[in-house]
Amino acid sequence: MANASGSGGDADDICRRINEEVRAYTSREINRLIQAALQQQQPAVPRPIHHRAVIRRDHVVAYQRLWDDYFAKLPRFGDNFFRRRFRMHLDLFMRIMNALERWYKYFRFRLDASGRLGHSLIQKCTTAIRQLAYGGAADTFDEYLHIGETTACDCLQYFC
């Protein structure tokens, strides 16, 4: 029996040494492959930083111009021009505008993200109604109303 237990111990030692050799070989091979992969990688090239173009829009001046042109007591353009440009009478426009202001926070006059006065209710309603009336692109209102394309699209979406 001593012979059998002694030969069993030799077999266990052999299996243990084989397992250690396999683990050592596997570990060395994995480390070699990792090092080879790291050496082949190109150094990371930083992406260029692109800054957004900031367009200074004076919302207050645009609002005053719109007010003077159509909504003042003595507007630059009369009722006929208003009817032709807005495709409705001034009274209807004012009712729509007041209803939007009552029901939707978006149409209320407030500060924009930079802390400046944002677009007025009249500017937002004018943008939405003219888009519906003429079917023009959203960025066509930037020059007169100083409203960017994204804001004009938002105005139309909230209006609808």
Domain boundaries, the chain: 1-47, 59-159
**pLDDT of residue 4 exceeding 80:** no
pLDDT tens profile 32-51 = 888 887 777 666 677 788 88
Strand partners, 117: 111
- The confidence score (pLDDT) of residue 43 equals 65
C-alpha dist (Å) from residue 118 to 54, 122, 148: 16, 12, 12
Mean pLDDT in residue range 95-109: 90
Distance CA 31, CA 33 (A): 5
Question: Other CB atoms closer than 10 Å to residue 146's CB: what's the count?
Answer: 21
Distance CA 90, CA 87 (A): 10
**pLDDT of residue 22 exceeding 50:** yes
**pLDDT of residue 114 exceeding 90:** no
Residues 6+ apart with CB under 8 A from 64: none
- The confidence score (pLDDT) of residue 1 equals 45
